[in-house]
């Protein structure tokens, strides 16, 4: 069904509206096998929503999404399950099940999609936790570990089935620089040495330029720039330069979507004054 020469992911004329807001606006792109595609863009511009559509968790208003050559927009949950066996997804929030231990969370896809026995599952769980630096944390509950650790458990779970395609939504947010480098190194090993395809949403430009073979920048639901890392670095587009250099002044207010900005444009924060050792708003 899917051939190595066709794109591993293909989105065509994808549109998603929430009410009358268009969050994904006639997007078309392809992802080739072996690529590490980094998706960038301001907070609220639609990156997570785009990933949810590519993996079939959300259905588009119109347009097509193919993974491994298969159109997924019309598939039932049961049919989607077969496709999901072949890719891993690290959600922005980690999306761990609170009632299960770390080990049980990582074991979930193995129990669902393989006929490994409990001993074999334990061994895979141990290996996957080891590669994200969490050896020995199997028995803890998500509430008992830090945010950055939850992220890494989510990554271990996404890698449990050794997927040929991995989607990661902000894999390094909340991680310290050393752990970020560890996760980036792992991504590089899996992609460059083992041929995995990776689609990574990130705001972390150090990490983005370390791992990307190609980059896409989204703005208001459209792709405004696309190219190899060096092309993005040299982009003449002001929004791209503002974003990759983290500049507060430029065409876009950082970290505010157009809608957020429009709503906040008239709000001027009142200056803070210190009164009796406490911060208070100065009345105008």
Ligand X SMILES: Nc1ncnc2c1ncn2[C@@H]1O[C@H](COP(=O)(O)OP(=O)(O)OP(=O)(O)O)[C@@H](O)[C@H]1O
Q: Is position 112 an interface residue for ligand X (rule: CB under 6 A)?
A: no
Q: Is position 73 an interface residue for ligand X (rule: CB under 6 A)?
A: no
Give the chain as a DSSP string.
Answer: ---TTS-SEEEEEEEEEETTEEEEEEEEEEE-TT-EEEEE--TTSSHHHHHHHHTTSS--SEEEEEETTEE-TT--HHHHHHHHTTEEEE-TT----TTS-HHHHHHHHHHHH----HHHHHHHHHHHHHHTT-TT-TT--GGGS-HHHHHHHHHHHHTTT--SEEEEESTTTT--HHHHHHHHHHHHIIIIIT--EEEEE-S-HHHHHHH-SEEEEEETTEEEEEE-HHHHHT---HHHHHHHHT-SSSSS-TT--HHHHHHHTT--PPPEEEETTEEEEPP-
For Mg ion, the closer of residues 138 and 169 by Cβ is 169
Please report, as residue ranges, which positions from 125 to 154 form the binding site for Mg ion (by CB under 5 A). none
For ligand X, the closer of residues 111 and 264 by Cβ is 264
Give least dist CB 4 to ligand X, A.
31
Among positions 12, 32, 48, 127, the unique one binding ligand X when judged by CB under 6 A: 48
For 218, half-sphere exposure in the C-beta direction (CA atoms, 13 angstrom radius) is 31
Q: Is position 49 an interface residue for ligand X (rule: CB under 6 A)?
A: yes
Among positions 36, 105, 180, 257, the unique one binding ligand X when judged by CB under 6 A: 257
Q: Residue 155 corresponds to which tokens in the numbers above?
A: 């990554």
Segment interacting with ligand X, rule: CB under 6 A, options 4-12, 37-45, 68-76, 139-147: 37-45
Give least dist CB 167 to ligand X, A.
12
Give least dist CB 7 to ligand X, A.
22
Which partner, ligand X, Mg ion, none, binds residue 90 by CB below 5 to 8 Å per kind? none
Q: Is position 47 an interface residue for ligand X (rule: CB under 6 A)?
A: yes
Give least dist CB 85 to ligand X, A.
25
For ligand X, the closer of residues 41 and 163 by Cβ is 41
Which partner, ligand X, Mg ion, none, binds residue 44 by CB below 5 to 8 Å per kind? ligand X
Q: Is position 44 an interface residue for ligand X (rule: CB under 6 A)?
A: yes
Give least dist CB 120 to ligand X, A.
36
Question: What is the distance between the alpha carbons of residues 256 and 78, in angstroms, rounded to a whole number?
Answer: 38
Q: Is position 48 an interface residue for Mg ion (rule: CB under 5 A)?
A: yes
Question: What is the distance between the alpha carbons of residues 214 and 189, in angstroms, rounded to a whole number?
Answer: 17
For ligand X, the closer of residues 46 and 171 by Cβ is 46
Give least dist CB 188 to Mg ion, A.
23
Q: Is position 134 an interface residue for ligand X (rule: CB under 6 A)?
A: no
Q: Pick from 88, 116, 110: which is nearest to 200 by CA?
A: 88
Provide the binding-site residues for Mg ion, judged by CB under 5 A.
48, 92
Binding-site ranges for ligand X (CB under 6 A): 18, 23, 41, 43-49, 92, 257
């Amino acid at each position: 069904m899917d051939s190595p020469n066709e794109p591993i992911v293909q989105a065509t004329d994808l549109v998603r509206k929430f009410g009358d807001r268009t969050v994904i606006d006639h997007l078309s792109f392809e992802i080739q096998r072996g690529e590490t595609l980094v998706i960038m863009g301001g907070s609220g511009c639609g990156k997570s929503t785009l990933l949810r559509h590519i993996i079939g968790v959300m259905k588009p208003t119109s347009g097509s999404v193919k993974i491994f050559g298969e159109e997924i927009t019309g598939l039932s949950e049961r049919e989607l399950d077969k496709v999901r066996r072949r890719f891993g997804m690290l959600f922005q929030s980690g999306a761990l099940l609170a009632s299960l231990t770390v080990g049980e969370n990582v074991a979930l896809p193995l129990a669902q999609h393989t006929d490994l026995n409990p001993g074999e599952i334990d061994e895979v769980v141990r290996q996957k936790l080891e590669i994200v630096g969490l050896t020995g944390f199997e028995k803890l509950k998500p509430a008992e570990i830090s945010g950055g650790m939850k992220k890494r458990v989510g990554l271990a779970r996404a890698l449990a089935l050794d997927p040929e395609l991995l989607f990661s939504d902000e894999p390094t947010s909340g991680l310290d620089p050393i752990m970020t480098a560890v996760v980036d190194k792992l991504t590089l090993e899996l992609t460059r040495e083992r041929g995995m395809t990776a689609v990574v949403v990130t705001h972390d430009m150090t990490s983005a330029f370390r791992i990307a073979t190609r980059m896409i920048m989204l703005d208001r639901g459209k792709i405004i720039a696309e190219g190899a890392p060096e092309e993005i670095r040299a982009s003449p587009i002001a929004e791209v330069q503002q974003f990759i250099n983290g500049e507060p002044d430029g065409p876009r207010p950082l970290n505010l979507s157009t809608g957020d900005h429009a709503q906040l444009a008239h709000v001027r924060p009142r200056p803070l004054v210190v009164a009796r050792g406490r911060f208070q708003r100065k009345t105008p």
